[in-house]
Amino acid sequence: MREAPLAHPGEILALDWLEPIGVSQYALAKAIGVPPRRINEIVHGKRSITPDTALRLAAFFGTDAQSWLNLQAHYDLETMRDKIADDLQKIEPHKRGGTIPHDVVRRLVDGATPARAWREHLGRAQADVAALSGISVSDYAKVEALDELSPEHREMIAGALGIAPDLLDF
């Protein structure tokens, strides 16, 4: 558990934004065109900052809406983490061959096969990976184009790329 209670975004709104400039909840509500009850419930931690409210607060305070949403998301995430901490500790992490770099994910999203995405990420030529894998260049090119890997080829290509075989499974 945490040492100090987590501040609700409404508390931050009141203490860091409204009080220093002497603006009341009611005045803020009227200025941004929302019911006063909405601001009151946010300030008292009974309501979340929605995208609509975040956009309005950003316009009023000259900030960006994402910052207000980030405050809310952080609060929601940490509150839930505390609430389900016991359940989270019981979850056994999936053993994967490692994390997938952003560049590889981007290539996969753009339509590359896993073998091609990893090869390009590592800056290797098809011929080099084929040679290290013990596969002909034409067979390797087919694997990259069709994403049809036999278990044997998967092991050989993963070894040539220096990655875990399961990273070629998508």
Determine the average pLDDT of the residues in 123-149: 88
Task: State both tokens at 132.
Answer: 């290290």
Integer Rg of the chain from CA: 26
Residue 106 has pLDDT above 60, yes or no: yes
Share of the chain residues as helix, strand and coil, in percent rounded to the nearest 5: 65, 0, 35
**What tokens were used for 109?**
């999203």
Percent of all residues in the chain with a pLDDT value above 90, rounded to a whole number: 74
The residue with greater pLDDT, 55 or 164, is 55
Q: Give, as one character, the DSSP assignment of residue 3.
A: S
Confidence of residue 1 (pLDDT cuts 50, 70, 90): low
Residue 98, φ and ψ in degrees, nearest 5:
140, 175
Is 70 exceeded by the pLDDT of residue 98?
Answer: no
pLDDT tens digit sequence for 26-81: 999 999 999 999 999 999 999 999 999 999 999 999 999 999 999 999 999 999 99
> In angstroms, rounded to a whole number, what is the distance separating the alpha carbons of residues 157 and 151?
10
Set out the domains of the chain in order of their start, with CATH numbers. 9-90 (1.10.260.40), 102-168 (1.10.260.40)
Given this model, what pLDDT does residue 152 score? 85
Mean pLDDT, residues 89-95 taken together: 82
Answer yes or no: is pLDDT of 139 > 90.
no
State which amino acid sits at residue 66. Q
- Residue 144: which pLDDT band, with cuts at 50, 70 and 90? confident
Cα 38 from chain centroid (whole Å) = 29
- Helix, strand or coil, per DSSP, at residue 22: coil
Kindly report the average pLDDT of the chain as a whole number: 92
97: tokens are 């061959």
Sequence-distant (6+) residues with CB within 8 A of 86 are: none
Count, residues in the chain: 170
Q: Look up residue 36 and give its two tokens.
A: 């006063």
Which has more pLDDT, 53 or 147? 53
